[in-house]
Amino acid sequence: MLFDTGWLATGVALLFAVIILLNAVRIFREYERGVVFTLGRFKQVKGPGLVLIIPLIQQAVRVDLRTVVLEVPTQDVISRDNVSVKVSAVVYLRVVDPQKAIIQVVDFLNATSQLAQTMLRSVLGKHQLDDMLAERERLNADIQQALDAQTDSWGIKVANVEIKQVDLTESMVRAIARQAEAERERRAKVIHAEGELQAAEKLFQAAKILAQEPQAIQLRYLETLTVIGADKNTTIIFPLPMDMLTPFLPKAP
């Protein structure tokens, strides 16, 4: 009986040792780090690779350093010119300081998501609707800088922010379409007016040149008649300038 009890005690001791050893070993991948606490106090950041900790005394919190794609839910934004739109975005972030990411904030992903929603409404609310539609790159940079400045104390780096979609109401879509049509008509009228101005300038220059030589006017008149007479199905009655017949008329005695 004593023999059996000794073997049992030895087995229990070995099992306990194996459990302690397994709890003491941590393996962190290349993109992971372990924030180690000793009796609740921060000790150091370890990894990647094999890390040994003291069971029951030390604790290691695993942190992923890869870039995380964070979807920002659709937000109701009122632009500077009092237009209500729905805007959605996506945020690219990563942990650059595991110690701060674990100690300074409870859940850095949720905290960054909530902050991104607030920043999206705050930054876009300072711009007009036309800026949201035409200058997204500049707005993306503004939101990224404002968000990154806030998350720096959490050990989070916001690498990029992209506005995915800006949804407008049907009435606003029709108003923008009317505005675009009016703009196209304005441009067409301006181009037509510029063409008329250039044509008038060229005609004025041609008239000045022709006025210096009367025979040139007669030649131009004849050339015009030749062009008109090219159409055989057209009958044209035109006046004959007396200036053209002057050289053929007998001179007065």
pLDDT greater at residue 195 or residue 204? 195
For 173, list phi and psi in degrees, rounded to 5. Answer: -65, -40
Query: What is the identity of the amino acid at 64?
Result: D
Q: Dump pLDDT digits (tens) for 35-91.
A: 999 999 999 999 899 999 888 889 999 999 999 999 999 999 988 888 889 999 999
- In the predicted model, is pLDDT for residue 1 greater than 50? no
Q: What mean pLDDT is reported for the chain? A: 82
pLDDT greater at residue 4 or residue 13? 13
Q: pTM of the predicted model, to two decimals?
A: 0.65
Report how far residue 1's alpha carbon sits from residue 6's, in angstroms, rounded to the nearest whole number: 9
β-strand partners of 91: 70, 161
- In the predicted model, is pLDDT for residue 94 greater than 90? yes
Q: Is the separation of the CB atoms in 147 and 156 below 8 Å? A: no
Amino acid 215: pLDDT: 61
Centre a 10 Å sphere on the Cβ of residue 174 and count the other Cβ atoms it contains. 11
For 237, list phi and psi in degrees, rounded to 5. Answer: -110, 120
Residues 6+ apart with CB under 8 A from 71: 88, 90
Place of tokens 């049509």: 181
Q: Is the separation of the CB atoms in 90 and 69 below 8 Å? A: yes
Q: Dump pLDDT digits (tens) for 143-178.
A: 999 999 999 999 999 999 999 888 887 766 676 667
Tell me the DSSP string of the chain: -HHHHHHHHHHHHHHHHHHHHHHHEEEE-TTEEEEEEETTEEEEEE-SEEEE--TTTEEEEEEE-S-EEEEEEEEEEE-TTS-EEEEEEEEEEEES-HHHHHHT-S-HHHHHHHHHHHHHHHHHTTS-HHHHHH-HHHHHHHHHHHHHHHHGGGTEEEEEEEEEEEE--HHHHHHHHHHHHHHHHHHHHHHHHHHHHHHHHHHHHHHHHHHT-HHHHHHHHHHHHHHHTT-TT--------HHHHGGGSPPP-
β-strand partners of 165: 88
